């Protein structure tokens, strides 16, 4: 266990469903991230939150909606997804953004999402 917990581990959803991914960290970090990892593609940064405020949205479609109620929890709300959204969604945390990240990110194990 890395200290970053993601649930569920696996999710199969239809294109008309609404579901949410959850990420929780107990490392005392103040920054949290959502990444998308597709087969044979680099890690794609989706959203960045720093002290609960969204600081980056990398042109992510509105069918993905993040929520960060506090520095320890991060959600990704999903609705009307497409089959090409099937991927591993990774959450990560770090001490804070806005300064060189000298201590790396801690990743969760990810949620394997399949859209049918």
Partner 1 sequence: GENVEQHPSTLSVQEGDSAVIKCTYSDSASNYFPWYKQELGKGPQLIIDIRSNVGEKKDQRIAVTLNKTAKHFSLHITETQPEDSAVYFCASNDYKLSFGAGTTVTVRA
| Stretch 33-92 residues interacting with partner 1 (CB under 8 A) | 41-43, 45, 48, 56, 90, 92
Regarding 4 and contact with partner 1 (CB under 8 A), the answer is yes
Please select the residue that binds partner 1; options are 32, 85, 93, 110, rule is CB under 8 A: 110
Distance CA(25)–CA(73), nearest Å, equals 7
- CA 91 to chain centroid, in Å, comes to 4
Q: Which two tokens stand for residue 10?
A: 């696996």
Q: Least distance (Å) from partner 1 to the CB of residue 97?
A: 6
Distance CA(64)–CA(18), nearest Å, equals 10
Please select the residue that binds partner 1; options are 49, 108, 113, 115, rule is CB under 8 A: 108
CA 41 to each of CA 52, 69, 74, 104: distance values in angstroms, whole numbers, following the listed order: 29, 30, 24, 21
Q: Least distance (Å) from partner 1 to the CB of residue 69?
A: 22
Question: What is the bridge-based pairing of β-strands 111-115 and 44-50?
Answer: unpaired
Residues forming contacts to partner 1 in the complex (CB under 8 A) are 2, 4, 6, 41-43, 45, 48, 56, 90, 92, 94, 97-102, 104-110
């Amino acid at each position: 266990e890395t200290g970053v917990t993601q649930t569920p581990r696996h999710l199969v959803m239809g294109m008309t469903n609404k579901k949410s991914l959850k990420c929780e960290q107990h490392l005392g970090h103040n920054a949290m991230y959502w990444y998308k990892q597709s087969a044979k593609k680099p890690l794609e940064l989706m959203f960045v939150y720093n002290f609960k405020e969204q600081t980056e949205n990398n042109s992510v479609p509105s069918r993905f909606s993040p929520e960060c109620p506090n520095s320890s929890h991060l959600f990704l709300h999903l609705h009307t997804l497409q089959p090409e959204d099937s991927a591993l969604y990774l959450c990560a945390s770090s001490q804070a953004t806005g300064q060189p990240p000298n201590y790396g990110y801690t990743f969760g194990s990810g949620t394997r999402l399949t859209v049918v």
